[in-house]
Amino acid sequence: MSQNGKHRQISKNITYYALLGLHPSASVIDIRRAYLQLSKQYHPDTTELPATVATAKFQQINEAYATLSNPERRLSYDVKIGYSRFGVIQAPTDLNHPVGKPYDFSKSMYLDASDRPLSAGEIFVLFFLVLTLVGCVLVAIAVAVIRGETSIPTQLSQPQITHISQLPTPAEMKINLNL
């Protein structure tokens, strides 16, 4: 193994992903978590392993993390090891294991996913919504009463008109409107 190689594998069978215990599709967060855990485990100052073994392992972990945490380096490394995130769909690693059965909704006590009891939070929100609606109606009634407006117009008793001659003249209508 060359110590100066930027994008090299640790050995023929161990990739940087295997060294960190990850799948090549691991996220940046997963890579960081694995690195932090392994660096605590193999740091020469904190491990019980011999100093030479711990130092070598710690350097390998640092090299793997330096490559996989940099997007450009990681892409180059993935091409080198033959892993592609794009284009071809990668086969799952557990091809010999059957795929889990989908959930059978016919055995559920609810016929539909939306047919379920309301949670406490949903009940609280509905209660608050009804309370707000009632409050708005009460405020509207209070404003109408304060202004002196009636919400239901009252019918004034007017004499029944049976002939056209009984209609008021425009002058009489003007007087009635001014009252």
Longest CA–CA separation in the chain, Å: 121
* Length of the chain (residues): 179
**What residues contact residue 32 under an 8 Å CB cut-off, 6+ apart?**
65, 69
Structure pTM?
A: 0.43
- The tokens describing 93, both together, are 């690693």
Structure tokens, 112: 């539909």
What is the end-to-end Cα distance of the chain in Å, rounded?
Answer: 108
Give the CA radius of gyration of the chain. 40
* Spans of the chain below 50 pLDDT: 1-10
pLDDT value of position 3: 44
Looking at residue 46, what is its pLDDT? 84
Per DSSP, 154 falls in state: P
Residue ranges in 1-119 assigned as alpha helix (H): 16-20, 28-42, 51-69, 71-81
Rounded-to-integer distance, Cα 32 and Cα 39, Å: 10
pLDDT (0 to 100) of residue 15: 87
